[in-house]
Amino acid sequence: MRYDRERATAVNAVRIASILCRTIQADMIGDSTIYKGDKSPVTVADYSAQALICSLVKKAFPNDPIIAEEDSSFLVEPENAFHLECVQKYLDKVLPGIEPDDILSSIDLGNGDVGGRYWTLDPIDGTKGFIRGDQYAVALALIEEGEVKVGVLGCPNFPLEGSGSGSENGALFVAVKGEGAEISSLRADSKRAIKVSNISGPLDARMVEGVDAGHSNHEMQSKISRLIGIQKDSVRLDSQVKYGAVARGDAEVYLRLQSPKTPDYREKIWDHAAGVLVVEEAGGRVTDTKGQPLDFTKGKTLSANSGVVVSNGLFHDELIVAIGKLSRHQAS
């Protein structure tokens, strides 16, 4: 297949990074937390995962730009030497002999620009979930001419066989354009195909939404649920794990709606690219709130789109209509 090498590289990089992040979470939860200027939490795991994945992707595809969430500016400050030492300690387990300068340069490999072909990476999507010891994802995607071609989500704390199954934690979601979506264990490539659920109407549908309301609008999501007839309680999960839940059939709807607290906010490409392909290749549908495809050609944000609507595809248009009605009502 055309993207076999890209798939293999992405799966290997995300799998190793996810296992490493799980180790860091177990060892350092609480102690590894740092804060950027905007007060969003960043951990040693973010930098370790970004350095590792960027290094492996660039080694395989040296001409491909990578657009990732972090840069090395925090770690180069002398007062933050402890954090750089922590990153080096963990990376040395998978990249023996790596030096601080190598770490910084590897992190900054993620400072690329959107082009005809590029990768986008969120080394820890759902950092607050990571800090709580809960759900987070390592998300990597390859985009060509604005279309996601390869998407991999590493979900270290997500049950492999579904919530409440008692199965092992640690799932890897993988999708290649036109080839379907798969799930496998982080420990071994025992993959199986996944499909969205066949629930065809809102009455039996389940909505998955973020734990943190800061980047979404839980109140409007609740109103939309009532308007179209969703009766079941929402499941709260951090990160792009929500895309995995819809793709596997654990839920039918995920809405990322504009919060009134941040009306000018636009979604980041690394927060959605991998998850979008996983859901679409599992048979679902992803658009913005106006029913338009997400546009990955405009830079680091989805500036041409407002919000994100994810579903199993069987009543997607009803969701778009309901969102439009509520938006017009609020504006009047």
Domain-wise residue ranges, the chain: 4-194, 202-331
47 and 86 Cβ atoms separated by less than 8 Å: no
Strand pairing category for 207-209 and 253-256: parallel
Dihedral angle computed from the Cα positions of residues 276, 202, 183 and 61, in that order, rounded to the nearest 10 degrees: 0
Residue 33 falls in the annotated catalytic set: no
Does an H or E element contain 225, and which?
A: helix 218-228
Residue 238 falls in the annotated catalytic set: no
| Token pair of 103 as six digits | 């770490």
Which CATH superfamily does the domain covering 4-194 fall into? Fructose-1,6-Bisphosphatase, subunit A, domain 1 (3.30.540.10)
Amino acid identity, residue 111?
Answer: N
CA dist., res. 191 & res. 133, Å (int)? 26
Task: Point out the catalytic residue in the list 9, 43, 120, 127.
Answer: 127
pLDDT at residue 89, as a whole number: 96
Which residues are registered as beta bridge partners of 325? none
pLDDT at residue 212, as a whole number: 72
CATH numeric code, 202-331: 3.40.190.80
Q: Residue 55, SS3?
A: helix
| C-alpha angle 90-96-98 in degrees, rounded to nearest 5 | 75
In order along the chain (332 residues), what is the average pLDDT of each group of 10 residues? Answer: 94 98 88 68 91 98 98 95 95 97 98 97 94 94 98 96 72 98 88 96 93 69 88 92 98 88 88 98 97 98 96 97 85 62
Task: Point out the catalytic residue in the list 9, 43, 46, 250.
Answer: 46
CA dist., res. 190 & res. 317, Å (int)? 35
CA dist., res. 53 & res. 208, Å (int)? 28
